[in-house]
A and B are shown apart, each in its own frame.
Chain A
Amino acid sequence: MEQDGSTIDDRTATPAGHGGAGLEQAADTARRVAARLGEAIVGRDEVIDLVVIAWLAGGHVLLEDFPGSGKTMLARALGASLDADGSPFSAFRRVQFTPDLLPSDITGVSVFDPEHGRFEFVPGPVFAHVLLADEINRTSPKVQSALLEAMAERQVTVDNVTHPLDPLFLVVATQNPLGLAGTFPLPAPQLDRFLFKIRMEPIAREAELEVVASYRQRLHPGPSTLPRITPGELLAARDAVEREVCFAPELRSCLVDLARATRTDARVAQGLSTRSLVQAVPALQARAMRRGRDFVSTDDLAALAGPLFAHRIVLAPGVADPAPVVADALAGPLEATTRATLHRG
Chain B
Amino acid sequence: MTAPVPRRQGLPIALVLGAAAGLLFAPAASPTGLAIAIGAALLGGLAGARTARSRARAFVVPAAALLVVLAGALATALLDRLPPGLVPWPLLLARGREALALGAPALAGALLLAHAAARVPAMRVLPLTALVGAAALLLAPHRGGAIHLPYAVSDRAFLTGWHPALVFSALGAIAGVVGSLALYRPGRARRAWLAGLLLLLAAVTLIRFAPGLGLLRLPSEDPLRLAGDPRGERGGGAGGERPQAPRGGQNPLGLTVPGPGHGERPDEMAPFRDDYTSAGAEAPVAVVVLHDDVEPSNGVFYFRQVAFAVHNGRRLVRARDSADAEGAGLDADLFDGFPAPGARDTRALPPGGAFRDPLHATVSLVRDHVLPPVLADGFAIESVPNADPALFRRTYDTRSMVLTAKLPRLLGRTAGDPRWPAAQDAALREAPRDPRYAALAAEIDATLRPEYAGDPWARALAVAVWLEEHTQYSLRSRHAAADDPTGSFLFGDRIGYCVHLAHATAYLLRAMGLPSRVAAGYAYEAADRAGGSALLLRAGDAHAWAELYLDGVGWVPIDSSPPSIDPPLAAPSLDLQRLLGELARPRPGGAGRGTPAPYRLPGRAETLLVLGSALLAWAGVGHAAKLWRRLAPRLARRDRAARLALRAALDRLAETGLVRATGETREAFAARAAAAAPAIEPLTAAHLAARFGGRPAEPRAAAGLARAVAQQRATDAGRGARARVWWGRLDPWRWVRSR
Residue positions of A touching B, CB distance < 8 A? 16, 18, 246, 248, 250-251, 293-299, 302, 331, 334-336, 338-339, 341-342, 344-345
Contact = CB atoms under 8 A, between A and B. Distances in A.
Interface of B: 187, 640, 643, 646-647, 650, 660, 662-663, 665-668, 685, 687-689, 691-695, 738-739
B695 A297 contact: no
4 smallest CB-CB distances across A and B, nearest first, come from A295-B693, A299-B667, A248-B692, A299-B665
Give the secondary structure class of A's interface.
mixed
A246 B694 contact: yes
Given A299-B666, A335-B662, A335-B663, A342 B692 contact: no
Given A16-B689, A246-B694, A250-B692, A341 B643 contact: yes
A297 B692 contact: yes
B668 to A, nearest CB: 7
21 contacts: A18-B689, A18-B693, A18-B695, A246-B694, A248-B693, A248-B694, A293-B693, A295-B694, A297-B666, A297-B688, A299-B665, A299-B666, A331-B662, A335-B662, A336-B187, A338-B660, A338-B665, A338-B666, A342-B646, A342-B739, A344-B640
Contacts of B187: 336, 339
Contacts of B647: 342
Looking at B647, B689, B691, B738, the one whose CB has the most chain A CB atoms below 10 A away is B691
A246 B690 CA distance: 11
Given A299-B666, A299-B668, A341 B688 contact: yes
A18 B695 CA distance: 9
Contact of A295 (B643, B666, B692, B739): B692
Contacts of B640: 344-345
A248 B689 CA distance: 10
Nearest to B668: A299
Given A297-B666, A298-B666, A342 B643 contact: yes
B663 A341 contact: no
A342 B647 CA distance: 7
Contact of B688 (A295, A302, A331, A339): A295
Given A342-B643, A342-B647, A344-B640, A248 B691 contact: yes
A144 to B, nearest CB: 36
A250 to B, nearest CB: 7
Nearest to B670: A299
A291 to B, nearest CB: 8
A297 B667 contact: yes
Give the secondary structure class of B's interface.
helix
B16 to A, nearest CB: 23
B31 to A, nearest CB: 39
Contacts of B693: 16, 18, 246, 248, 293-295
Nearest to B647: A342
A89 B660 CA distance: 49
Contacts of A18: 689, 693, 695
B685 to A, nearest CB: 8
A87 to B, nearest CB: 36
Contacts of A248: 691-694
Nearest to A11: B685
A324 to B, nearest CB: 13
Contact of A251 (B662, B667, B689, B692): B692
Looking at A16, A18, A251, A298, the one whose CB has the most chain B CB atoms below 10 A away is A298
B692 A296 contact: yes
B664 to A, nearest CB: 8
Given A341-B643, A342-B647, A344-B640, A246 B692 contact: yes
Nearest to B693: A295
Contact of A339 (B667, B689, B694, B739): B739
A250 B650 CA distance: 21
A334 B663 CA distance: 7
Contacts of A341: 643, 666, 687-688, 691-692
A295 B667 CA distance: 13
Contacts of A294: 689, 693
B702 to A, nearest CB: 14
Nearest to B669: A338
B679 to A, nearest CB: 17
Nearest to A296: B692
Nearest to B643: A342
Nearest to A18: B695
B694 A297 contact: no
Looking at B647, B663, B692, B694, the one whose CB has the most chain A CB atoms below 10 A away is B692
Contacts of B694: 246, 248, 295
Contacts of A338: 660, 665-666, 739
A201 B605 CA distance: 67
A300 to B, nearest CB: 9
A248 B692 CA distance: 5
A293 B685 CA distance: 9
Contacts of B643: 341-342, 344-345
Contacts of B691: 248, 250, 341, 345
B10 to A, nearest CB: 16
B689 A295 contact: yes
B441 to A, nearest CB: 97
Looking at A293, A296, A297, the one whose CB has the most chain B CB atoms below 10 A away is A297
B306 to A, nearest CB: 80
B669 to A, nearest CB: 9
A297 B665 contact: yes
